[in-house]
Chains A and B, each alone.
Chain A
Amino acid sequence: MELDFQTSVDYFWALLPEIVLSLWAMGVLLADVFQKGSRSEASRPAIAWLALAGIAAAAVANVWLMTVTGTGGMIAVDGFRIFANFILLLAAALAILVSMGYLDRHAMNRGEFYVLLMFAVVGMMILASAQDLILLFVGLELMSVAIYVLVGFNRRDPRSGEAALKYFLLGAFASAFLLYGIALVFGATGTTDLALLAETIGTGVQDAPLLLMMGVGLLAVGFAFKVAAMPFHVWTPDAYDGAPTPITALMATGVKAAAFAALLRVFAVSFGGLHETWVVAFWWLAALTMIGANLVALTQGSVKRMLAYSSIAHAGYVLVAVVAANAVGAAAFLFYLLVYTLMTAGAFGIVIANARGDRERVSLEDYAGLGWQQPVMAAAFAIFLLSLAGFPLTGGFIGKLYILRAALAADQVPLAVILVMASLISYFYYLRVVIVMYMRPAPAADTHAGLTASRPLQVAVGVAAIGVILLFFAPAMVLDAAQGSVAGLFIAQEALFGLSRGP
């Protein structure tokens, strides 16, 4: 199907996955509120499965979208968006699966949780597909507002409320930066359309270069907040630590992936003509994030907080692919986001499983001897941690390899060296957990007895673990898809400047 966006009906087709998910979420909302009259606790899991079916329906619509081509609208219909959508839907599905047992244990099993989660995913998908800065902002707010509520969803836990307030205040602050940046870019170029922006900036006809640079700078700050790059990361550990753990998993995977997708589209494509300028800022952001986050993660006693810093560090690795800003980098970017989503969601799944009642056992000592008393759980956690560290035999290794290749293709040798050094630092704190799990004896023979992970959580962790391993042994399939997805992304730009950075 060919869309030219001359009529509104074209927008309906282009937005089909988002529309399906929105309608489904509204349906779930009504289903939940109408069944509440019967007061039957037994029917509650049905809401979660209904939400999961909605994610699946959106994925089907997304598959259909692969047969569609379209240009010129406010919505991008390209491979990059479709690939990003699959990552986001995967993150959402994993988050829903790990939520099921968790919500019961913490006595906050309400249907609104899943509805808000679905609306957040709609926002993420719009963020990844927006071809216009205004639409991008709408998607960002749709995602953020739902996530603010979800972070504070555990009403009885004051830390959850504190995390929500911190995330809300700093998130609103970041949105203001972003919006101000959009306003200045519009003032300088007279357009908010990403394709038109690439043309206007590319031809060098600018009334106000200073205005444009300020706009680009403010946009960079806004995005750096959202992807939690140092030094704009200060909200991250507290928000991730206080939020309900399934939401932490979603924030570390889906929210981050969506913000990164928008960042890549805006900077590498629209501001491609200014690459020499913004690349300096992102170079320092990437370097600082990789070194700083890994160093701070070394000192964390809580595994959940360590994973929060780990997710900041991984934002740094992905920023290296953004700095490269070539087709190799964009493909490595998508591949890495996929691996990262699997391993991070899996690791948080284990954090959820290692709890008794509503008490989460997140300190390092709580993992002592886990390897012998809960061998399957510990083995899965070891896989995720090794993958996060970038060990061979896991997808994390291949992901880092591709990012390194992209950095070298773009002549970013120092940054590639920093990436390798930062990974070496990270080995220490990832492996420490593995060592504690296997080498340190448990305080008692039954310390880890009775940790019953719910069946859906087992499925989610199993899928993530298999995916992480599979991406090492058969990365070509996914990488080919990623390369195919980004094929169209840089064409307009290269046609404009006749330049191609890297092969």
Chain B
Amino acid sequence: MIESYLPILILLAISVVNAVVILGLTYLVSPYRPTSVKSAPYESGMPGLGGTRDRFSVKFYVVAILFIVFDVETVFLVPWAVAMRDLGWEGFAAAMIFIFILTVGLIYEWKKGALEWD
């Protein structure tokens, strides 16, 4: 049983070597001339605005939860859609139950006002 995991071990080893070689080569070969602008967290972006430990509105949290609902839905439904013909009606019923439960959650959030910002 252990032998069947050998390809994974080889893959792991190759990716580690690969990462070390690429990072090591860039470190050794590339020129390194820092300036204050280049050392900023977002080079060629917006300048930073204050610290990161600000207090956020709890509404962001609700939006994040909403995002997760749809995100997880997609993660499950795309593979299901690909394999739908093989899964047949049983798979269809299972997916419908899943969507039903998510819909209940969505209706709840909607009525709670999570979809309105104010």
Give the B-binding residues of A (Cβ under 8 A): 7-8, 26, 29-30, 33-34, 36-37, 190, 207
Instruction: Give the chain A neighbours of B1 by CB distance below 8 A.
Output: 190, 207
B21 within 8 A of partner (CB): no
Instruction: Give the chain B neighbours of A190 by CB distance below 8 A.
Output: 1
Q: Given contacts A30-B104, A190-B1, is CB(A8)–CB(B90) below 8 Å?
A: yes
Complexed CA–CA distance, A8 and B90 (Å): 7
Q: Given contacts A26-B101, A190-B1, A207-B1, is CB(A33)–CB(B90) below 8 Å?
A: no
> Measured between C-beta atoms, what is the minimum distance from A356 to chain B in Å?
33
B33 within 8 A of partner (CB): no
> Interface digits, B33-62 against A, CB 8 Å rule (1 contact, 0 not)?
000000000000000000000000000000
Instruction: Give the chain B neighbours of A8 by CB distance below 8 A.
Output: 90, 93-94
B85 within 8 A of partner (CB): no
Complexed CA–CA distance, A160 and B40 (Å): 42
Total residue contacts A-B, CB cutoff 8 A:
21
Q: Select which of B93, B94, B101, B112 is within 8 A of A33 by beta carbon.
A: B112
Give 9 A-B contacts (CB < 8 Å), ordered by A residue.
A7-B90, A8-B93, A8-B94, A26-B104, A29-B104, A29-B108, A37-B111, A190-B1, A207-B1
Prevailing SS type, chain A contact patch: helix
Instruction: Give the chain A neighbours of B107 by CB distance below 8 A.
Output: 30, 33
User: Which of B90, B101, B108 gathers most chain A CB within 10 Å?
Assistant: B108
Complexed CA–CA distance, A207 and B104 (Å): 47
Instruction: Give the chain B neighbours of A34 by CB distance below 8 A.
Output: 111
Instruction: Give the chain A neighbours of B101 by CB distance below 8 A.
Output: 26
Instruction: Give the chain B neighbours of A29 by CB distance below 8 A.
Output: 104, 108
Complexed CA–CA distance, A80 and B112 (Å): 41
CB <8 Å contact, A30 and B94: no
> Interface digits, B86-113 against A, CB 8 Å rule (1 contact, 0 not)?
0000100110000001001001100110
Residues B1-54 near A (CB distance < 8 A): 1
